[in-house]
Amino acid sequence: MISGDFIVEKITYIFVNIFSITLYIVVIFLVSLGELSVKIIILPTELLLNFFFKLYLNVKKTKPQNVFLVTKHSVKWVFLKLYDVFYVIKKRIISTITGLVEYFRGNYLQHFVYGFMTCLAVFVLYQSYSFINNLPNPYLIGKVNFSQSTHLYDRNGKLLYEIYRDVNRTSVHIEDLPDYIIQATITIEDKNFYNHMGISFFGGILRAAKDTYRTKDLQGGSTLTQQLVKSALLTPERTISRKLKEMLLAVWTEQIYTKDEILEMYLNQVPYGGSSYGIEEASKVYFGKQAKKLTLSEAALLAGLPKAPSIYSPFIDPDLAVKRRNQVINEMFKLGYITSSARDGALAEDLIVQPPTTNIRAPHFVMYMRTLLEKEYGSKKVEESGFEITTTLDLEIQEKVELILKEELEELTDRNVSNGGVIILDPKTGEIIAMVGSEDYFKDSYGAYNVTTALRQPGSALKPVLYAMALETGGFTAASRIDDSPIIFQVPGSES
C-alpha cells in the first residue's frame, strides 16, 4: 500500500519542478535588476514560509526538534508538509537565482539586449501573424461589397428601369471596352501599373509619406491595385493599419489575378459619383450611352472622376471637369497612347452631359413588377443581385397608349374628368401588353396611384354575373318581374 508520505513527497517534487521551470523564465528578465530581483522573489516566499511555520508552532506549542519526524496522523502533520514544500521552494529559488546571477555577472547589458531582442522578435512575429490572419481574402473581390442593379426590359429588349438600393452598378467585360478607356484610367491613376507588383515604392510609398508629412493626413500614393482592394475589401478610414493592410492585399491580389482582370474589376468596382458605380453606369448617367460607345474625350472625363467624384463632377463644376479631362488627354499623349491629332480633336470637343434624370419608362408597370418581385425574392435580393428580367410589356404600344390617354383626358376637362387609366391584356395568355395607371406618374397629388390595379366598387359591372346565376337556377326568366321597393328588416330589441 502506498503511504500518505510517499504521495505527498511525489506531489511536492512535481510542484517544485514546475515552479522551478516557471522561475527560470521569470528570473531571466529580473536578473538584470541585480539584488533587487532576489528580494522580489524571495520576500513573498519567506512570508508564506513563516506563516505556515508559526501556524505549526501554535499547534504543537513547542518548537520541534525535527519537523520531518512528526506523526503523519496528527493535525500538525499537514502544516509541516506545507512548510516542507515552501522550504524546498525557497532553497530552489535561492539556488537558481544565485546560479543565474553568477552566470550573468559582468554581462548584464549583453544578455539583457539578447533577451530583449528575442522577446521583441517573438512579439513582432506574433503580431504579424495576427495581422495577416485577419486580412480579408482577395478572392472575395467582386463577390462582397459588389451589389449589381436589377434590369427590367420590355418584350423586345428595351430597358425600362434599373432597380437598386444605394449602389447602381452594371458589370462589363474589359474586352468590350475601347482601348482608350483603359489607357485613360491607367494614365491618370497609375502610370506604372504594368511594371509593379501591387505597390510602387518611389511613385507610391515615398509620395504618400511626403503628403502625410506635409498635410498631417495619411493619404495618396495608392496604385490602381491598392485602390481596388480598398474599395472592395477595406474600410475608408485613413490609418497606418489600414494602409498596411491595403499594401499587403495589393501584393497578394497581384499574385492571384492578371493585370487585365485587375483592370476589369477596378472599372466595375469604383465609384464615379452619386449612386453610380463602375464605368458602365457612369457612362449612362453622364452621357446617356453604354461605355463601349464613349468617345475619347468622354472616356478621359470619366477616368478623372474616381479620385474625387464630388469635386470633378460635370454636374457640380463643369469648368473643373473640363480641366481635369484635358489633363488626362495631355498625359495620354505624353505617354504615347494617342496621336497629336487625336489629342487636339478630344481637347476641342465640347463637354455635353445629360442633365440628372430618373430613367424610368412605363413607371406604373415597373413598380407593379417590382412589388411582385419583392414578394417572391425579398427586396434585398431584388436590389443587389443583378437580375436581368424580360417582361411582357411592349414599350411601343405602351407609349402610344400613354399619348392616347392624355388626349382623351384633355377632351374631357370640361366635364371635370382629370384622371384615368388603361390596361391592355392578351386575352389568351393574360400577359400585360401596356399599363398606364394615371395621367402622369410624377404628379404630386395622385400620379403614383395605379388606377388599373386599385380595388373599386364593381357597381353595375357585376349585374351580368348575378343575372346569369339567376337564370341558371331556372327560377327566373328574362320576363320575370322583381319587386325593387325598399325592404326594412326589424331586428328584435333594436330601436324602431
Per annotation, catalytic residue among 460, 480, 485, 496: 460
CB-based contacts of 70, cutoff 8 Å, min separation 6:
60, 64, 76, 77, 80
* Single pTM value for the model: 0.63
Q: How many CB atoms lie within 10 A of CB 336?
A: 8
Q: What are the grid coordinates assigned to 433, written together?
A: 401588353
Q: Which helix (H) or strand (E) holds 46?
A: helix 35-60
Of 417, 426, 431, nearest to 365 (Cα)?
A: 431
pLDDT one digit per residue (tens) for the chain, 496 residues = 555 555 545 555 555 555 555 555 555 555 544 445 555 555 565 555 555 555 545 544 444 444 444 444 444 444 455 555 556 655 666 666 566 556 655 565 666 666 678 778 888 887 777 777 788 888 888 777 778 899 999 999 999 999 988 888 999 999 999 999 999 999 999 999 999 888 876 655 555 555 544 544 444 558 999 999 988 888 777 788 888 888 888 888 999 999 999 999 999 999 998 889 999 999 999 998 999 999 999 999 999 999 888 899 998 899 999 999 999 999 999 999 999 999 999 999 998 888 777 788 999 999 999 999 999 999 888 988 889 999 999 999 999 999 999 999 988 888 888 889 999 999 999 999 999 999 888 887 778 889 888 887 888 888 888 888 888 888 888 888 888 888 887 777 766 5
Secondary structure tally for the chain: helices H, strands E: 18, 8
Question: For 93-109, b where at least 16 C-beta lie within 10 A, e where not — what string?
Answer: beebbeebbeebeeeee
Q: Which amino acid is at 447?
A: G
495 is catalytic: no
pLDDT at 224: 92
pLDDT at 69: 40
pLDDT at 66: 42
Domains of the chain: 4-133 (no CATH), 167-348 (1.10.3810.10)
37 is catalytic: no
Per annotation, catalytic residue among 37, 149, 171, 189: 189
First-residue to last-residue Cα distance in the chain: 107
Q: What are the grid coordinates assigned to 258, written together?
A: 492578371
- Beta strand 271-273 with 276-277 is antiparallel
> Which residue, chain included where needed, has cell 410589356?
393
How far apart are alpha carbons 206 and 212 in whole angstroms?
Answer: 10
Q: What are the grid coordinates assigned to 263, written together?
A: 483592370
pLDDT at 65: 44
pLDDT at 277: 92
pLDDT at 30: 53
Per DSSP, what are the bridge partners of residue 144?
Answer: 141
pLDDT at 11: 55
pLDDT at 82: 52
